[in-house]
Structure 1
Amino acid sequence: MKKKIIEKSYRIVRYYRENGLIRFCRHVIAKIFHMEEMSYNRWRRKHRLNKEEIIEQRNKEFEYQPLISILVPLYCTPLEYLQELVRSIQNQTYQNWELCLSDGSGVGKLSHDYLDKCINADSRIKLVTSDKPLSISENTNRALKIASGAYIAFADHDDLLEINTLYECVKVLNDYPEVEIIYTDEDKVSMNGKSYFQPHFKSDYNLDLLRSMNYICHFFMVKKEIQQNVGLLREEYNGAQDYDFILRCIEKSQHIFHIPKILYHWRAHQDSTAENPESKLYAFEAGKRAIDAHLKRCKENASVEMGGYLGLYRVKYWMEKEPKVTILIPNKDHIEDLKRCIQSLYEVSDYKNFEIIIIENGSKEEDTFDYYKKISNKYTEIKIVEWSGENGFNYSALNNYGVRFAKGDYILFLNNDTEIINADSIREMVSHIMRADVGAVGARLYYPDGSIQHAGVILGLGGIAGHAFREFSNNANGYFSRIICTQDYSAVTAACMMMSKSLFNKIGGFDEQLKVAFNDIDLCMKIRKLGKWIVYTPYAELYHYESKSRGLENTKEKVERFNSEIEYFSKKWKKELEAGDPYYNPNLTLEKHDFSLKIL
């Protein structure tokens, strides 16, 4: 009892430190009044199938009706849980399945009376047994060896499938026959099967996030040919055997589909944080080794280490050399901001192979030009270029002009009111941008008070696009730890964004029709059209001294300009905006920055 009290106290203190006073108080209130559970329960009632929909699905005859083999390793499984799992499979609205059970409990550990009845009553249920206890990998592999389906799916012995899980998967296969892997959203179900909580509304396929954590998890279904190509589950990764298997599968797949619906229920204690993660350290170590093996197979010059918390990982990509980086900084007066920015580049950053191009844009103060002269004399790699284009501010035109003078292979677009926090920020960004499949890299930015200003950009958030997790505490994890994980996003802010000069020129640079707003989003959209990823790394950290109230369009001219840029961007990317952000789940709100449920 005393140990549980200490553990609970530790969790409370940790939550407070990670989320700050305001979010801590909201969390306490939500817990007392069960607000989060009530909100999710309303969502479940809204999205669960009604009787008419169930009948319609049961009567649906797909053109393609593949046999799906569901593999379930059993190990001293409580009878009640096993019965509920089997019922959840037998109740599926799509019925062309087989259930492949492997009992690795050992002789006499699990009664087969119930299973024998099931097998006699339903020929689709298969069972293989062992005289000795089996590891999780070997147990699952035995189930796999009796599977004959065109697709292989996985379930734990005490979990539940939603009634339409298989139907939704087969619907995808009929709509998109090329799909080789399918995964779904999931939640947790209480031990008594009555309460559903902690829904995980996932990103579409996100390689960098998968290298940071096993976000795919359940429900996972793979084409038999892919499974045969990668082989069986591997004993050496027990505890993270599913993570290793998923990584091997995605390496061989070209078409991976995410269904943004809660179709799998993972049984867990509602107070599951009471579990001691250190007791499963072997599993987290196995996960680290699985990622390391994956990186080697992909011929990535990289290594992996534990992330901020157990179950999270950080991949470090190594460079054989330091390529030259051109840092572009538009500036108009505000010398104190610029001084701080330049000072951090020389005194904080440990990356030295760079040049700085300051794009002078109509400064008026004498001190500004005195400072330009001083730093130009002190640092040979600093160059001042004067923009003499149109009157007024045009961020796109300024940077397009600045790139003409760049000698570096890579460009770092950097606002003059930023300040590098950690020494390896530029190195971290360079290590990602040198990857062949990456088009742009963004950083984690903070307001002066330490709260988050930028941790990736979400299309549609607040209208056109918005920053994820804005104003969260600087030590917050965010929704399923997404603040502190390297991952792919649709866009990142050009307040600190790196890309190759050749790619920048290839896509025509910034769109000068977008003078102030959305020009960086537009640039990222053009990059993604070429099939390249936009990577957000939380390990490059900077202050961005932009005021939280900055950007208010408080004059008629600004309002007209802002509205015209919204209209222009909306027309240009109409299809993409209507489709929604692939890295943000459609069940989450676009009205707030916290990844909370969409209000029904």
Structure 2
Amino acid sequence: MKTNNSNHSIKDTKVDMAGLDLNAQYQIFLQNSEKPKQYKLKYQPMISIIVPVYNIAAKHLELCIQSVINQGYSHWELHLYDDASTNMDTLECLKKWHKKHKKIHVQYGKTNQGIAHALNQSIAKAKGSFVGILEHGDELNQDALWQVVSCLNQDKSIDFFYSDEDEINENGERLNPCFKSGFNLDALLSFNYINNFVVIRKKYGNKKNWFKNGLDGSQTYDLLLRLLPLKINIRHIPHVLYHKRLSETPAKLSNKDYQDITAKSALDNYIYRNNINATITNGLFENSFRVQRAVDESQLVSIIIPFRDKLDLLQVCMQSLLAITAYPTYEVLLINNQSKDADVLEYCTQLSQDFANIYLHDFDEPFNFSRLNNFAVTKAKGSFLLFLNNDIKIIHHDWLHEMVSHIQRDEVGAVGAKLLYADDTIQHSGMLVSAESAVHFGRNEKDTDIGYFQRANYIQNISVCTGACLMVSKSVFLEVGGFDEEFFKITFNDVDLCLKIRQAGYLIVYTPYAKIYHYESKSRGLDGTPEKLVRFKQEQKHYQRKWAKAYVDGDPYFNPNLQSSVETIVLNQTSR
């Protein structure tokens, strides 16, 4: 296995990674990343590696088997089950290794019965307390099993592992790295982001009778969804431990369609088993889905809109809100923060007279976003609060339905939307937190761009959503003490609120299906004056004092191999 197009080391050389495409960054990353020191492990469980085989090229099967033999961790066994291959080279390769290595076990099926059957037959013979799944032709990194067992030596309660992965071509070159997040329930319900490499505690697989027939291509996805109610301990290992064979020919459309069908079936079964009132529709990209939950429209939403003058912005906001929003049960609280424009006050007064669900309140104090919104909450009657900037334009009728569909879930504390600038570039699709600060990941990308593995285009759990459009359960808001009026008067208040909500055990959900325009910071202007910059730095220091220790290892919904201080995908120059 090798990296691309370079024979010289660039260690200790500062490279502008941001100016390179992902694969170019990855080559630098690989060259600079040292192999982990594999110290002796006290706890050494047996890991059974399971490989279903069917008509794979012998040269690729050889590489697959060799990658297991080359493992730095030695307490393993390899089970290969041939699902009635007709390729004689495949069969000869299996026979050779069965005779050659005492830790390799081979079974031969008489008829082709599919991946799930092949996996289950091998697992029935496996002696390990953990089972790892490896597809024929793919390869494990040399430290894959050691990394798993190293984690177990730190925490023996872990039941399910998954790792980062990349692709490997015919020349042994590694490409297209997929650096994943920590466990993300809503992302998992959107698509199978777990993929490879997985290692599962055998006793839990046994409880669920392992893999179900008829779900080939999505069998591991289905198993994980069935394991979730057991409250298993899931651990992401942020290292590339798996190398997916990059096919020389594109996958047939029929194969992609079948995998889409089996994944949807697995998801449908999950929804049914867990009594979730929802429908599953296709997502915004291939092999992704949207879990569209039924909405209780009797729940009152209190939409809180602070303003100071800027009649043109407020008119656009209110006109679009009233004309487009389909959700029927909401109130609007217009919070006047020392406006001097008589026209805007007249406009708001007229709205409050014309609409029974619109209320005008005065907050006659210097601007303090946190105190202003806390004041508004005392006036709100709804069980759900929606903090909404006045420089917003609603563009889809179901935006509020979508946000309510998630905030009504008991486990969810806050919900954020996808915000676009007027030129259809992304302003907000979730924020990343670190020990130093928080940034809008993907800002300024085109809404139509794929981005990093479609990150802006599926429902997922994240650490922080912007307060420009943030729905919060009122009970949760009060439970965590609302916005911090003392330390986060202007900035970091939404970050602090979301992190308090997560700290209390609730999920933050980002959904791209609530999409609106945001003419950012036009009300106050950008924080460019010396006074505003000083204030920003002060509030950033408050953030660091409060949250740096909790996020010293980075955002749990991001990946430590990616830089969390920038708004685009940039790899660290070495692995962490």
Fold equivalence (TM over 0.5): yes
1:134 is displaced (CA, Å) by 2.4
**Match among 416, 426, 431 for residue 400 of structure 2:** 426
Deviations 1:230-266 (A, max 9, x none): 1121112123222212222233233110011101000
Q: Distance in 1 between matches of 2:80 and 2:522?
A: 56
Matches within 5 A, 1:271-286: 274-277=250-253, 279-286=255-262
1:269 is displaced (CA, Å) by 3.3
Identity %: 37
Q: Does the CA-based 8 Å contact 1:106-1:134 persist in structure 2?
A: no
Number of equivalences: 556
1:126 corresponds to which residue? Answer: 105
Q: Does the CA-based 8 Å contact 1:447-1:548 persist in structure 2?
A: no
Q: Distance in 1 between matches of 2:21 and 2:481?
A: 49
**Is 1:170 aligned to residue 158 of structure 2?**
no
1:536 is displaced (CA, Å) by 0.2
Deviations 1:150-191 (A, max 9, x none): 01110000000000000000000110111111100000001x
Q: Which residue identity is paired with 2:382?
A: G
Q: Which residue identity is paired with 1:491?
A: V
Secondary structure of the 2:364 match is coil
2:431 corresponds to which residue? Answer: 457
**Match among 186, 196, 200 for residue 222 of structure 1:** 200
Q: Which residue identity is paired with 1:69?
A: S
Matches within 5 A, 1:317-336: 317-336=293-312
Structure 1: 5+ residue runs without aligned partners? Answer: 1-29
Pick closer, same or farther for the CA change 1:168–1:311 going to 2, 3 Å: same
Q: Does the CA-based 8 Å contact 2:310-2:523 persist in structure 1?
A: no
Q: Distance in 2 between matches of 1:234 and 1:531?
A: 33
1:308 is displaced (CA, Å) by 1.8
Q: Distance in 2 between matches of 1:36 and 1:570?
A: 30
Q: Which residue identity is paired with 2:567?
A: H
Pick closer, same or farther for the CA change 1:36–1:467 going to 2, 3 Å: closer
Q: Does the CA-based 8 Å contact 1:332-1:363 persist in structure 2?
A: yes
Secondary structure of the 2:550 match is helix
Q: Does the CA-based 8 Å contact 2:386-2:469 persist in structure 1?
A: yes
Q: Does the CA-based 8 Å contact 2:429-2:510 persist in structure 1?
A: yes
Q: Does the CA-based 8 Å contact 1:240-1:287 persist in structure 2?
A: yes
**Greater per-residue helix proportion:** 1
Q: Which residue identity is paired with 1:214?
A: N
1:299 corresponds to which residue? Answer: 275
Secondary structure of the 2:50 match is strand
**Match among 542, 552, 555 for residue 578 of structure 1:** 552
1:540 is displaced (CA, Å) by 0.1
Deviations 1:496-531 (A, max 9, x none): 010111111111100012011110010000000111
Pick closer, same or farther for the CA change 1:415–1:283 going to 2, 3 Å: same
Deviations 1:462-483 (A, max 9, x none): x500111101112123211111
Larger CA deviation: 311-320 vs 354-363: 311-320
Q: Answer 1 or 2: higher relative contact order, Cα 8 Å, separation at least 6.
A: 2
2:247 corresponds to which residue? Answer: 269
Q: Distance in 2 between matches of 1:107 and 1:524?
A: 56
Q: Distance in 2 between matches of 1:48 and 1:166?
A: 17
2:563 corresponds to which residue? Answer: 589
Q: Which residue identity is paired with 2:172?
A: K
Q: Distance in 1 between matches of 2:569 and 2:89?
A: 42
1:45 is displaced (CA, Å) by 1.8
**Is 1:558 aligned to residue 542 of structure 2?**
no
Q: Does the CA-based 8 Å contact 1:440-1:534 persist in structure 2?
A: yes
TM-score scaled by length of structure 1: 0.89
TM-score scaled by length of structure 2: 0.93
Q: Distance in 1 between matches of 2:549 and 2:346?
A: 49
1:372 corresponds to which residue? Answer: 348
**Is 1:343 aligned to residue 334 of structure 2?**
no
**Is 1:42 aligned to residue 20 of structure 2?**
no
Q: Does the CA-based 8 Å contact 1:67-1:96 persist in structure 2?
A: yes
**Match among 211, 234, 237 for residue 215 of structure 2:** 237
Q: Distance in 2 between matches of 1:143 and 1:578?
A: 42
Q: Distance in 2 between matches of 1:35 and 1:433?
A: 37
Deviations 1:59-78 (A, max 9, x none): x3322100001110000121
**Is 1:499 aligned to residue 472 of structure 2?**
yes
Pick closer, same or farther for the CA change 1:482–1:38 going to 2, 3 Å: closer
**Is 1:195 aligned to residue 173 of structure 2?**
yes
Q: Which residue identity is paired with 1:579?
A: D
Q: Does the CA-based 8 Å contact 2:55-2:86 persist in structure 1?
A: no
2:3 corresponds to which residue? Answer: none
Q: Does the CA-based 8 Å contact 1:151-1:224 persist in structure 2?
A: yes
Q: Does the CA-based 8 Å contact 2:32-2:573 persist in structure 1?
A: no
**Match among 216, 226, 236 for residue 248 of structure 1:** 226
Larger CA deviation: 34-43 vs 466-475: 34-43
Q: Distance in 2 between matches of 1:381 and 1:555?
A: 38
**Match among 95, 111, 117 for residue 138 of structure 1:** 117
Q: Does the CA-based 8 Å contact 1:494-1:520 persist in structure 2?
A: yes
**Match among 516, 531, 540 for residue 505 of structure 2:** 531
2:8 corresponds to which residue? Answer: none
Larger CA deviation: 580-589 vs 249-258: 249-258
Pick closer, same or farther for the CA change 1:460–1:552 going to 2, 3 Å: farther
Pick closer, same or farther for the CA change 1:294–1:158 going to 2, 3 Å: same
Q: Distance in 2 between matches of 1:548 and 1:355?
A: 25
Deviations 1:162-221 (A, max 9, x none): 00000000000110111111100000001x242111100001000100111100000001
Secondary structure of the 2:379 match is coil
**Is 1:73 aligned to residue 52 of structure 2?**
yes
Larger CA deviation: 547-556 vs 564-573: 547-556
Matches within 5 A, 1:16-95: 36-49=22-35, 56-57=37-38, 60-95=39-74
Pick closer, same or farther for the CA change 1:565–1:118 going to 2, 3 Å: same
1:510 corresponds to which residue? Answer: 483
Q: Distance in 1 between matches of 2:543 and 2:533?
A: 15
Structure 2: 5+ residue runs without aligned partners? Answer: 1-16
Q: Distance in 2 between matches of 1:551 and 1:140?
A: 60
